[in-house]
Amino acid sequence: MLLAGISLIINPEIIFKVLRDNFDKLWLHIIAVVMRLLLGALLIYQASVSKFPVTMEVIGWIAIFAAIVFTVIGRPNFKRLISWAFSLAKSLGRVGGVLALCFGSFLIYAFI
């Protein structure tokens, strides 16, 4: 998360180009679901050792809920969601990078 944030701040087109070139591929949808499931499960499992156990557990459940939503909406709606996100990418890419950097930093702080 931290590295993605830094990349989006420095040159957002690097990440957006990869996503734009592959947004219609099945593997991107699968990775979006699996990464959220993994993040959610890890945050819930490790919440008790963090500085903010309730916050980590809530974020974990939100990530799992997002994975379920991505699964339930199906591929056509997932593609539409990604296309909509790309429409915001030019104007909000660096803002998203700052948010990702802050979230990644918070996760590191919470567990160290």
Segment 23-35, tens digit of pLDDT: 788 998 999 999 9
pLDDT on residue 9: 86
Q: Could you tell me which residues come within 8 angstroms of residue 72 by beta carbon, excluding any fewer than 6 positions away?
A: none
Place of tokens 């104007």: 91
Tokens for 72, please give them.
């339930």
Q: Residue 45, Cβ neighbours under 10 Å: how many?
A: 12
Distance CA 18, CA 31 (A): 14
Distance from C-alpha of 2 to C-alpha of 97, rounded to nearest angstrom:
9
18 exposure class (CB count in 10 Å sphere: 0-12, 13-18, 19+): exposed
Ranges of the chain whose pLDDT falls below 70 = none
Q: Are 92 and 100 in contact (CB under 8 A)?
A: no
- Are 74 and 1 contacting, i.e. CB atoms less than 8 angstroms apart? no
| pTM of the model as a whole | 0.84
